[in-house]
């Protein structure tokens, strides 16, 4: 199925003559508008404490409820990826970050309400101090700290996170 199949009407003029143009777009045969289905930006972060343990979160909601995850989420409109990862960490853990470092990106398909959202997940890293107060909130049911040897990528529920964890462990 074409990723834009669920979109039946032109977002510009409302016409029902909104048809598949190519693998990544639909075109309105009435007004000529072409809508390109681009990836949504998402962020996640590797937070490492002074004992070199990774902070991981347990997902409180679907998709992949109950599995491990990294703190993160979608980038809001008018927000940089750096701002988004700082905001998401604050929302999910209560931690305030001052400095984050970009690592790499991984494409992903995130299923939300039975709809596949194509994302580009941007991964960051930051250190945290043991005295920092943290708590599980928002989309997180639990926060854990794991030593590298305790981390199994298969315990993480989202494909891009599994790939990122594997890549991070190899460095």
Instruction: Count the Cβ atoms, other than its own, within 10 Å of residue 8.
Output: 10
Supply the Cα-derived Rg of the chain in whole angstroms.
19
Tokens 């599995």, located at residue: 67
- Rounded Cα distance between 160 and 111, Å, is 12
Tokens 């693998």, located at residue: 23
Instruction: Count the Cβ atoms, other than its own, within 10 Å of residue 107.
Output: 12
Residues forming the active site: 142
């Amino acid at each position: 199925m074409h990723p834009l199949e669920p979109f039946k009407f032109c977002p510009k003029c409302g016409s029902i003559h909104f048809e598949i143009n190519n693998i990544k777009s639909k075109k309105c045969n009435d007004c000529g508008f072409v809508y390109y289905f681009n990836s949504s930006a998402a962020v996640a972060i590797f937070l490492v404490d002074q004992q070199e343990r990774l902070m991981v979160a347990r997902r409180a909601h679907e998709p992949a409820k109950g599995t491990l995850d990294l703190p993160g989420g979608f980038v809001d409109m008018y927000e940089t990826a750096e701002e988004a990862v700082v905001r998401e960490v604050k929302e999910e853990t209560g931690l305030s970050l001052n400095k984050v470092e970009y690592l790499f990106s991984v494409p992903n398909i995130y299923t939300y309400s039975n709809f596949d959202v194509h994302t580009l997940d941007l991964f960051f890293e930051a250190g945290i101090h043991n005295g920092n107060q943290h708590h599980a909130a928002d989309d997180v049911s639990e926060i854990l700290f794991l030593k590298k040897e305790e981390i199994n990528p298969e315990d993480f529920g989202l494909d891009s996170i599994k790939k990122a964890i594997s890549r991070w462990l190899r460095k």
